[in-house]
Amino acid sequence: MSIQTAYSSQASPAEAVADVKKQLGSEPLKLLLFFASTQYDPTVLAKAVNDAFPGTPHLGCTTAGEITSGLMLEKSLVVMAFGTDALADVNIQLVLEPANPAAVMQALMNFEQHFGEPIAALDMDRYVGLVLVDGMGGAEETLMEGLGDATDVLFVGGSAGDDLAFKATWVFSGGLAHSNAAVLAILRPTGRFGFIKTQSFITLPKKLVATQVDEPNRRVLEFDGKPAAVAYAEALSVSVADASKRFMRNPVGLMAGDEPFVRSPQRFDGNAMVFYCNVKEGMELSLLESRDIVEDTTKAIEAKQKELGTFSAIVNFNCILRTLELKAAGQMDAYGKVFAGVPTIGFSTYGEEFLGHINQTATMLVFAR
């Protein structure tokens, strides 16, 4: 069966899970990955999945919109089922306090025990990590840094959403729903795999250096020795009042060569700027400007297909800010169609994970035939 997907927009968790179960059939699974709207009671949904797929390792999280092959959905459940021929091995670990480095370390030690070799020695060409984390807890940076320090295995994933309510998000593991938690998986695919990180921005010449920050609260107090809001507005050559309308179009990027790791402004807090991910003191950030998401994503997928060959599946962690931009531009259908023809699931995230915690990006795990 390799990798299959299914989705359901049935109203209740039990109906939705029964619907996808029927679509997937009864072949044994190595792993079930699922993303769901918070219209489904998380606790009921977690149990329904566990009951419908007994003995199948599974993980998932809540969303701010779901993605499946060819479609951008809302109030739905999307699932990806990995057959026994798709994965040679998988292990899932729940981290109940992802901001606690000791909790992350314990999960890594559990991975070591399962795979029978030190986490630092796991071959990044054979293993890949998935990370789903509470989207409201602000723990992503600590979690990703802990993972990146310990292993070269690349973890890709997203921060759970709650349909833009911004009240509580959930991750799923072992038949239970958890807040303030992360669920990690390390997979050993039988075939080739790769990553796509695409953010659909161009880099403008203007740079801003964070000279005073409140890192734990993701606040930048000063850029270039000036109040952050003033410096950001000056960089855009607009008033501070108008600058707040430019956050989505003009975020900033920490540049790794030509590759931006996007930091998206959330709001002005007086003259400070609050971001959706952290900015460290001394970081030099480039001003970015948005480009066509559909066109850029299509190019990124085509480039990766040339490298890897025909895809057998895509897991897409797409920033909610991109989804909102797509909605505003009337491009939701066009974006969904980018993934038509390839078994795909994904969701609109409250943050993306790829080496670190980033914003306004789509991070994807792709499997090749």
Partner 1 sequence: MPGLVKKMIDAIVLERSKGNVVIANSTRTKLLLKGIDPLKYTPTTEDDAAIIAKVRTAALDFGVRLS
Residue 337 Cβ vs partner 1, minimum distance, rounded to whole Å: 32
> Minimum distance between the CB of residue 48 and partner 1, rounded to whole angstroms?
38
**Minimum distance from CB of 93 to partner 1 (Å)?**
20
Least distance from partner 1 to the Cβ atom of residue 141, Å: 8
240, 241, 247, 251 alpha-carbon torsion, rounded to 10°:
-10
Cα–Cα distance measured from residue 79 to residue 16, given in angstroms and rounded to the nearest whole number: 11
Q: Phi-psi bin for 65: left (phi > 0), alpha (psi -120 to 50), beta?
A: left
Closest to partner 1 by CB, 108 vs 338, is 108
Least distance from partner 1 to the Cβ atom of residue 148, Å: 5
Shortest distance in whole angstroms from residue 264 CB to partner 1: 16
**Complex with partner 1: residue 29 or 208, whichever CB lies closer:** 208
Nearer to partner 1, 58 or 357 (CB): 357
CA 169 to chain centroid, in Å, comes to: 13
Please identify, using beta-carbon distances, which residue of 280 and 369 lies nearer to partner 1: 280
CB of residue 345 to partner 1, shortest distance in Å: 26
Cβ–Cβ under 8 Å, residues 154 and 30: no
Cβ nearer to partner 1, comparing 34 with 354: 354
Chain residues binding partner 1 by CB under 8 A are 120, 124, 145, 148-150, 152, 154, 254, 256-257, 261, 280-284, 355-356
- Between the two ends of the chain, the Cα-to-Cα distance in Å is 12
Cα gap 158→357, rounded to integer Å: 9
Contact between 104 and 193 (Cβ < 8 Å): no
Torsions phi, psi of 70, nearest 5?
85, -5
CA distance 107 to 84: 24
Q: By C-beta, is 127 or 170 nearer to partner 1?
A: 127
DSSP 52-102: HSTT--EEEEE-SSEEETTEEESS-EEEEEEETTTEEEEEEEEES-TT-HH
Contact 320, 66 (CB under 8 A): no
Which is closer to partner 1, CB of 85 or CB of 307? Answer: 307
